[in-house]
């Protein structure tokens, strides 16, 4: 009996060692083999040692990022994995890495876009990445990544860490790309909202576009034409009550809307142009 127990313990220990202890989120564990696809190298590209890996589930996000947690929760974040790297010659110079498992690529796209001002410098990494000072941001598959350098002296290493982490993360089978519904002229940004698009609570699962003249447009998707019509009616009622010019139309399971101009013809023309592109199958 004792030999059987020892054999079972040895087998379990061997499986744990092969699995690498599973220090990262479950979504980073390869399904084909018992081996962790960890996004955190033991040392950074420049050889800076890694500190302890910290893990926070959705209920524990506030412990690490305080009031910022709500923005991630809106996009159905599952968890956050954190680790830091410090320069061995000067520990005051460091790079911190935050990896958010957003459950699906569309959520990662959404949180990446909403967290950006649109003025950052683009970086060639992952599905999409950018830089603001010594901080770098990126997304790949279902993950959103923030890499923050302590100062300008950590910028090169922060960029290298971003690349290493994004390279290690799994890609999406179907990458999320900007929809072609919104006319290009004057367009500055495309975003995605899970709820409350254009300030209307019922407008969710919506792509949004912003234009240089202050106009904002949205295409919200629904499970049925009836739901879409109800949401359109709510949007119209909301902006009539506010006395704010806006234009909304329902088309099958979609609601297309625009606001941000005192000229109602500008809004109607933009909605019509978006609907035309949707009908073209773009």
pLDDT digits over 55-76, tens only?
999 999 999 998 899 999 999 9
Stated pTM of the model: 0.82
Q: Is the pLDDT of residue 35 over 70?
A: no
What is the number of other CB atoms lying within 10 angstroms of the CB of residue 190?
18
Q: Is the dihedral of CA 224, 226, 230, 235 positive or negative?
A: positive
Which stretches of 83-202 are DSSP H helices?
105-114, 155-168
Q: Is the dihedral of CA 244, 207, 126, 72 positive or negative?
A: positive
Radius of gyration of the chain (CA): 23
Q: In the predicted model, what is the mean pLDDT of residues 146-173?
A: 94
Higher pLDDT, 163 or 13: 163
Residue range 216-231, pLDDT digits in tens: 999 999 999 999 999 9
Beta bridge partners of 114: none
- CA-closest candidate to residue 77, choices 143, 170, 165: 143
Which segments of the chain belong to CATH 3.40.1000? 20-168
- pLDDT of 38 reads 66
At residue 112, what are phi and psi to the nearest 5 degrees?
Answer: -60, -45
Q: Please determine, looking at this structure, whether the domain spanning 187-279 carries the CATH number 1.10.357.
A: no
CA–CA gap between residue 271 and residue 184 (Å, rounded): 13
Helix (H) or strand (E) holding 193: strand 187-193
- pLDDT of 2 reads 38
Please check whether residue 46 is in contact with residue 30, taking contact to mean a CB–CB distance below 8 angstroms. Answer: no
Which segments of the chain belong to CATH 3.30.1360? 187-279
143: Cβ contacts below 8 Å, ≥ 6 apart: 27, 39, 99, 100, 101, 102, 108, 169
Residue range 113-147, pLDDT digits in tens: 998 888 899 999 999 999 999 999 999 999 999 99
Q: Which CATH class is domain 20-168?
A: alpha beta
């Amino acid at each position: 009996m004792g030999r059987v127990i020892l054999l079972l313990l040895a087998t379990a220990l061997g499986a744990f060692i092969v699995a690498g202890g599973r220090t990262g989120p479950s979504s980073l564990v390869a399904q084909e083999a018992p081996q962790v696809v960890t996004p955190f190298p033991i040392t950074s590209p420049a050889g800076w040692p890694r500190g302890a890996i910290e893990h926070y589930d959705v209920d524990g996000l506030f412990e690490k990022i305080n009031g910022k947690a709500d923005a991630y929760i809106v996009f159905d974040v599952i968890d956050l994995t954190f680790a830091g790297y410090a320069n061995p010659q000067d520990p005051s110079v460091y790079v911190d890495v935050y990896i958010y498992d957003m459950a699906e690529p569309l959520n990662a796209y959404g949180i990446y876009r909403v967290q950006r001002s649109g003025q950052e410098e683009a970086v060639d990494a992952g599905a999409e990445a950018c830089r603001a000072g010594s901080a770098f941001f990126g997304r790949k598959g279902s993950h959103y990544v923030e890499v923050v350098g302590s100062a300008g002296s950590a910028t090169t290493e922060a960029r290298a860490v971003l690349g290493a982490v994004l390279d290690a993360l799994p890609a999406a089978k179907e990458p999320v790309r900007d929809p072609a519904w919104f006319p290009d002229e004057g367009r500055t940004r495309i975003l995605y909202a899970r709820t409350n698009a254009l300030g209307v609570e019922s407008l969710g699962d919506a792509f949004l576009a912003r234009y240089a003249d202050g106009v904002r447009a949205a295409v919200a998707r629904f499970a049925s034409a009836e739901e879409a019509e109800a949401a359109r009616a709510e949007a119209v009622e909301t902006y009539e009550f506010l006395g704010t010019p806006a234009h909304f139309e329902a088309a099958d399971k979609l609601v297309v809307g625009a606001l941000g101009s005192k000229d109602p013809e500008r809004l109607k023309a933009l909605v019509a142009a978006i609907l035309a592109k949707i009908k073209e199958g773009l």
